Amino acid sequence: MIAWLALAARAGGDPCADADAVKERSAAIKQLYDDGEAERADRSATASSVLERDEERVKAILKYDKKGQLCTVEDKWYGAWILTQADSVETLERAYQLAQDTMNARYANGPWLVAYVFDMKRVAQGYRQSYGSQTQVNERNQRCLVEIEPDVTDEQRAKYNVRPIADEYRQVLDANGYRDDPPTLDSLRQRGLYCAPQAFKSKDAKKNAPPPE
């Protein structure tokens, strides 16, 4: 650790100047991402335990970010994804900025992440999403699609590597056992699977919410 600090000091304090330190840190960030994904795929893990460790991972990424230690485009992509597990609109805003950095760097999954986090932060503020990436659980404990801005087209979605909205309809219908229903908005509405956005119940959400449109 002392040697690393000395190298950083000689490099003018740039935390991204030491290739070995960057490599080691990148591996740690990727491990945080892998751990989170593994826990979500593990049906034996309880929701509360995963949420607790998500909070720990979010804090770790925010600490790296505060120190300017998200050096590579992969660091920023994994960091942005981990930050989407936060319950703070302010943190989602930072995830969105990092996602934009990856898109601007032409990272393969950057555009998709930008659309995903944009939808997420809008829903967290109580507004309709644009691209159709966000679902919620309704009062009947069914997975429902959060309302979507009607003027967003599949052509616009394609620019962000987001699949056509009919594919999202299909997934929601299938998840609820309605495999014979056509993948349309009317089908979702008839089944009660098109739901209003639920804003975060937090001070951050109220503070950061945009003015009414």
Query: What letter represents residue 32's amino acid?
Result: L
Task: State the burial class of residue 139 (Cβ atoms within 10 Å of its Cβ: 0-12, 13-18, 19+).
Answer: exposed
Backbone phi and psi for residue 168, each to the nearest 5 degrees, phi listed first: -70, -40
Helices (runs of H) and strands (runs of E) counted in the chain: 10, 3
Please tell me the pTM assigned to this model.
0.85
> How far lies 207's CA from each of 8, 28, 83, 168, in Å?
37, 33, 19, 31
**Beta strands at 135-137 and 143-146: parallel, antiparallel or unpaired:** antiparallel
- Please choose, from the candidates 66, 69, 93, 63, the residue with its C-alpha nearest in 3D space to the C-alpha of residue 80: 93
Q: How many CB atoms lie within 10 A of CB 78?
A: 23
Q: Is-contact 117 96, C-beta < 8 A?
A: yes
* One pLDDT digit (tens) per residue for the chain, 213 residues: 444 444 444 445 899 999 999 999 999 999 999 999 998 777 566 666 778 899 999 999 999 999 999 999 999 999 999 999 998 999 999 999 999 999 999 999 999 999 999 999 999 999 999 999 999 999 999 999 999 999 999 999 999 999 999 999 999 999 999 999 999 999 999 999 999 999 986 544 433 333 333
- Please choose, from the candidates 175, 204, 203, the residue with its C-alpha nearest in 3D space to the C-alpha of residue 187: 175
